[in-house]
Structure 1
Amino acid sequence: MNYYGGDSAVFILIGKMFNAGKVPYVDFFEHKGPTLIFIEAIGLKLADNERSSIFILQVINLFITQILIYKIAKTYLPHFISIGIVMLTLLAFSFTIQGGNSTEEWSLPYLYLCLLITIGFEDYSARKQKVCFVIMGMSAAILFWMRLNNMGIICACLLFIMIIALQNKNLKLFLNLALGGLLGFLFISIPIIIYFTHIGALSEMIYASFLFNFSYIQYHLEQPFSLVDLIKGWLSLLTFIIGSILYYKKYRDYKMLVLCICLFVFAFVTTHIGPQYFHYMTLNLPLFSIGVIQIFCTQKIRLLNRNSNLVILTGAFFMLFGYTFYKKNQKQYIKDQDDTLFISNSTDIVDKIPVNERPFIFAYNVSARFWLITNILPGYKFFTNQEWHGLHDKSILTETNRLIQEIPPLWIVIPNDNANIKFINTELSNILFEEYQESYRNDDLILMRRITSN
């Protein structure tokens, strides 16, 4: 299918620029952390086709995630039902994936791994505990340097183990967790800091990955409310709440209740405060899995029958693949996943530019798909969504204007919204009006050429 996605196109592009030798956050701007850039850069090495290459890495990532879901479920439930839990989690994932290749998707193995460690750490030997705590610290660091909100569940797990250590007055456990977690965190963080210091981009990386996002999270997203929105936004949390209540009511497991409270608080804060995009809710999938596991555990007597287990597995299978078949045949879904027209119009625009002049293009507020489709690397730091970024930090617009005045692009591509072009960046509008003239347009894009004096 001819689909590049929104955020996915940006992430593939930053990985491509990194592999081409451009300096992250200096030569190109992105407000996700460096571990995402490294993941995309590695993913692009797996195949010649960019999207296929990232898809291969996604398959590996999701396969590891499914194994971890199974191992968590198998701690409480029989084999067939554990497989069913995996399928039901995939069903919930299909509600929040939004094109895939998101930071939330890449976070899932680390979240599930830390959750698996947390539910079983008391049965581990002292040596295994220390190793696991280092792993948790490393996992936290990977997500910390990707997107701060994504490490919420890991923070909940660490807090829970600390509570258990303090409650049991187990100073050794507390110190092992603190030192092991810190060691793991530093093991990932120190090389990142050294690398960005070495290339002279540490302050730019800190600004883009953290400081910019503090203003970004204050943005209030206006979304129409519907039942579908409620399901996508709250399915995992509501399932988790129901499962936690039923489980505690039946087993009176105080430790599990404390873990559930920690998980819910961190999950709610990191996904429901600030913008609430559906793909953010992918971070709550571990809660969905635990919630479903707890619901089945309360019916444990009925689950001892092998035939009942197979019925549950079969039901989960048909729910997953039935919904997938239904979704793939929806006209609106097919339309949303088809970039054929934009591909054609992007190619059409670039065909109007001489080959030797194509490196001198600047695209303003145009989807990152444009660069991937045309196989051109941006020559300016702020290469897409400039107006969106400028809403949160006006200095981005100022810097964009400075760059194109210092090195005026020969060609500028802007969106064609079939109306008067109105930018928040009024200075750029003036530059376009005074120094550029329209050369060509199609349904998606307008090509502007710089006016040169004879």
Structure 2
Amino acid sequence: MTTRKNTLSATKYLALVVFSLFIALPDSPLLAGPGIDQEVFKYAGMALDLGARPYTDIFDHKPPLIYLITAFSDNFGIWGFWLFERIAVGLTAIAFYTWLKNNKFPARFGLALAFLIFLDFPGISGGGGMTRTFTGCTNFLTFLVISSSLRRKYFYAGILLGLTFMLQQNEVLPAIAWLGGWWLLRKDLDIAGLVKRTGLLFLGSLVPVVPILLFVLAKGAFSDFVEQAFLFNFEYIQSDDSLYERVIIVLKGCILMGLAPALLFLAVAIGSTYFYHLKYLNKSEGGGFKSSRLLWCCALALLFQFITASVSGKFYGHYFIGVLPILVLIFAISLKEIDGFQISRFVTPVVLVVFLATAIPSDFYFKAFDSSVQAVSQFAKEPVYEASNDDYVAYLKPLEGQTGQLFIFRNTSQLHLNTYFKIVSPTKYIYTHLYNMIPGWDTDGTLFTQLIEDVKSKKTFYILDYSSISPIRPDLQLKWDSFISANYDQVRLMPDGGILFKIKEGQKLQVAVR
């Protein structure tokens, strides 16, 4: 009997891993072309592998852990980063299933599947590979660890908090809110114990934070890190909107993304659980205090997840990745409390109905399903991600591995060419869309002047320019056009509207091979 149970559990674990791969197949290199933010992360990882310094040679405002992940993943080719993310998500789903099993929750496997579906929710996941996908996992694991009976659980939770902070600083807020609720709702709140647990959290957080910061320091990039990776990115938030106005923007965004049915379901789940708790559980021994406590903690985490998005002033896509796993946890707790109604057998249909109800408005789910079906015939062909490089092989293959010989202007997505051909950009300023995103960015044009000087000094051989279809600020566009006409000849108008320029004949090419 024991052997049979172990085999069944192992089968379910394997099924969760397989499902985590399948559900993200539409976002894999097999079926998806280059992303946007993901390409910055992958490029940075490739550049680090070739000896570049984070923040000093690559400008971005994210903490460094995502770059270390992509640097490791770069060793496994175009599939490396996607597989790393899928392993992280699959292991989190297994941890959730184990937690549900240890705490005797009903419908454990269905709930773990729901976690995977919601974490990879079409239209919100951002095509995968986002920092918030990883923090969605680390925060969720923090919730599970703290509410478990593990020894040294506060130390482990601290490690997870440190990982979250080194991935996306502001995403620690929901986890801290959850922890605060867990402590404050204890029946036996004692200050000495609180101090001890806080100390363990702090010590645990140092485990990932200290080595990562030492790595940045050893690279001589610490001052650039402090300047660029601002705490909570507050320096990047330049808006005249009040916090109230930002909250309203976020709520409108929820409606636009089809999240309203899920939030309505959340309200019904919490309300019905508390009704059942008041009517029945107070008659039973022990009551439902732990479940009530968990629900309050989830509600706090959810509130701070929305505050995190509101402070950023963003209301779309991956800014809400952390919301959906919390909804699954609330559903799981509610289901356990009201299982007297024998509804656990309907978990899978309910999950699918909620999922479809939220996905139908955007039609993302059906497109994703369509892509998954097509994948069966795609395996024998060239992966879509790799095929996106085909138009450039004849030009860029001879420059493979040569630092500074390709610059992509005004199309972050095309950084995949630098990554694929192992060509470090001539300038750290690869994120030129910031001129559109952030009011007041580089008002005096100092950074843009430095960008041009960097390209000049490297005698960059090819420039792929998208400013004709995505122009920059008029004064800077004029400066850029002048630079191009004086130093480069047009080679080809690419199918996607980009123009490939080659350095003019007679210019002495400076090539630095790493």
Deviations 1:390-439 (A, max 9, x none): 75331542431332344442332202756988766333233223333323
Matched, 1:197 2:217: yes
Counterparts in 2 of 1:407-422, with a 5 A limit? Answer: 407-415=458-466, 417=468
Deviations 1:202-251 (A, max 9, x none): 1111222216932434469999x78973324x565544443223322322
Q: Structure 1 residues 420, 67: closer, same or farther in 2, change over 3 A?
A: closer
Q: Structure 1 residues 418, 59: closer, same or farther in 2, change over 3 A?
A: closer
User: What does residue 283 of structure 1 align with?
Assistant: 322
Amino acid paired to 1:15: G
Amino acid paired to 1:400: L
- What percentage of residue pairs aligned between the two structures are identical? 17
Q: Is the 8 A contact 2:158 2:203 kept in 1?
A: yes
- Give the Å deviation of 1:23: 1.1
Distance 1:192 1:355 in 2: 30
User: What does residue 178 of structure 2 align with?
Assistant: 157
* SS of equivalent residue, structure 1 residue 386: coil
User: What does residue 312 of structure 1 align with?
Assistant: 347
User: What does residue 9 of structure 1 align with?
Assistant: 39
Counterparts in 2 of 1:135-284, with a 5 A limit? Answer: 135-164=156-185, 168-210=188-230, 213-218=233-238, 229-232=256-259, 234=260, 237-252=263-278, 253=289, 255-256=293-294, 258-273=296-311, 274-284=313-323
Per mean C-alpha deviation after superposition, the further-off stretch among 101-110 and 417-426 is 417-426
2:87 to 60, 63, 69: 60
Q: Structure 1 residues 309, 20: closer, same or farther in 2, change over 3 A?
A: same
Matched, 1:99 2:127: yes
Counterparts in 2 of 1:294-443, with a 5 A limit? Answer: 294-303=333-342, 309-313=344-348, 316=351, 326-328=366-368, 330=370, 342-347=388-393, 350=396, 360-366=405-411, 367=413, 368-383=415-430, 385-388=431-434, 391-392=437-438, 393-394=441-442, 395-415=446-466, 417=468, 425-426=476-477, 427-443=479-495
Q: Is the 8 A contact 2:143 2:175 kept in 1?
A: yes
Deviations 1:253-306 (A, max 9, x none): 563454244212211111344122311211113311122114423531122xxx
Equivalent pairs counted in the alignment come to 432
Distance 1:144 1:269 in 2: 17
Q: TM-score, normalised by structure 2?
A: 0.72
* SS of equivalent residue, structure 1 residue 440: strand
Gaps of 5+ in 1: none
Q: Is the 8 A contact 2:63 2:168 kept in 1?
A: yes
Q: Structure 1 residues 325, 211: closer, same or farther in 2, change over 3 A?
A: closer
Q: TM-score, normalised by structure 1?
A: 0.81
Counterparts in 2 of 1:71-86, with a 5 A limit? Answer: 71-74=98-101, 78-79=105-106, 81-86=107-112
Per mean C-alpha deviation after superposition, the further-off stretch among 431-440 and 419-428 is 419-428
Distance 1:179 1:213 in 2: 26
Amino acid paired to 2:297: L
Per mean C-alpha deviation after superposition, the further-off stretch among 359-368 and 211-220 is 211-220
Per mean C-alpha deviation after superposition, the further-off stretch among 308-317 and 373-382 is 308-317
Deviations 1:330-357 (A, max 9, x none): 58x99xx966884344446547x87798
Per mean C-alpha deviation after superposition, the further-off stretch among 392-401 and 411-420 is 411-420
- Give the Å deviation of 1:61: 0.8
